[in-house]
Structure 1
Amino acid sequence: MQTPPDRDVRLLEAPDIVLVGSGIMSATLGVMLKRLDPRLRIQVVEATKDLASEASDGWNNAGTGHAGLCEMSYTPSRDPDGRVPIGRALRIFEQFEQSKQFWGSVSVDGMVGAPSDFIHVVPHVCFVKGSENVDFLRARHAAMAQHHFFGGMTFTTDSSTIHQRAPLVMEGRGPGPVAATTGDGTEVDYGLLARRLCGWLADQEQCDVAAGWKVTQL
């Protein structure tokens, strides 16, 4: 590693875990490991001077909680009988729910502050145009609405209703078949959450979070 200029800071000697980067993935994994085994010596190293200031930061990350509600790429095709397989969307929804449960648990334990600081309910909308795409979205909704994960999702082909939900999408749009689904999704300020997780980790024994260190060799 390169030592930052004008600094005489020692990293942990012989850590059990080294996490490169202080974004949401490193921060979540580090806290999870420390809670599972408090004896672990964990070192986080971040190249920039500020923690979670790159891909996880709110200015650089849309914050979308990917749960299959609006990501049609998770259900890209139809079976020969016309049905839309939703297995991948279910798996991704479940994985994100597990992430939310973990973040919720550390919030309950007073480690990251109030959940309302970094997690919010936001409508997730799918929009399509053209008869073929409308038929696909209808079939997608029919398949997903049967599972309790997506039971609250709504489907409409009414232009005025879609305009209320997504006015900029509909503004100036000419006539033609359109459709949309809407479900309550989750948006997360991953940067804020990562910094708070790193803050907790830095306060633990045998743990250190160091900014301004660049990993040059493994």
Structure 2
Amino acid sequence: MTVSTDDIAKHAARLLFAGTRLDLGRMAAELGISRTTFFRRAGNRDDVMGAGLRLLSDRTWQRALAHWRAEHGDAVRTPGGRLRCLAVMEEYRREVADNAGLRKLIEAESTVALRVLTDPRGAVQPALVDAHVELFREDADAAGLTPLVGLPDLAFAVVRLGESFLYADVLAARTVDLTVATTLLDTLVGGAMEPSAR
């Protein structure tokens, strides 16, 4: 059986989720391919970590969306009026913060992990920004809102601010406070979109 780049990313995601350090030589052996083939298909350790973390991030985002659909169907707001994107963002951050494997990675390899997670040219952050842009666009259209700034700019600001709270313990020696993060990010998004003129 041919081992694809996707197979390697999935294997990396399983290891990261379990809190297991990525050893590329051992991964190659576990997948039954040579180190040369492994590196040719997957790149260096940062690349492999990025692919695995992106897969975990994508799955977490999709779970948050699925949870919204299970609770609210196609509605764009809760009965109390909160936008879907705000609830999805909050659930995503909570799941990331609660992921024991990710916390173990950050504790063991904070410099590498944060570089991979927050690299604007890497695998994780740009995909997360794109996911936010798509959801903001859908919510703005469905709720009749006009963004006051470009959605890519809003999404980038939201993701970067979210990162600063999610990884506050490592980045700034501060306690991770997701309640404050939610208040600030909800205010930011709410202030950046206004009802469209009829």
Give the TM-score range, shorter chain. Answer: 0.3 to 0.5
Structure of larger gyration radius: 1
Higher share of residues assigned strand: 1
Higher share of residues assigned helix: 2
Query: Relative contact order, CA 8 A, sep 6+: which one is greater?
Result: 1
Q: Normalization by structure 1: what TM-score?
A: 0.34
Q: Normalization by structure 2: what TM-score?
A: 0.37
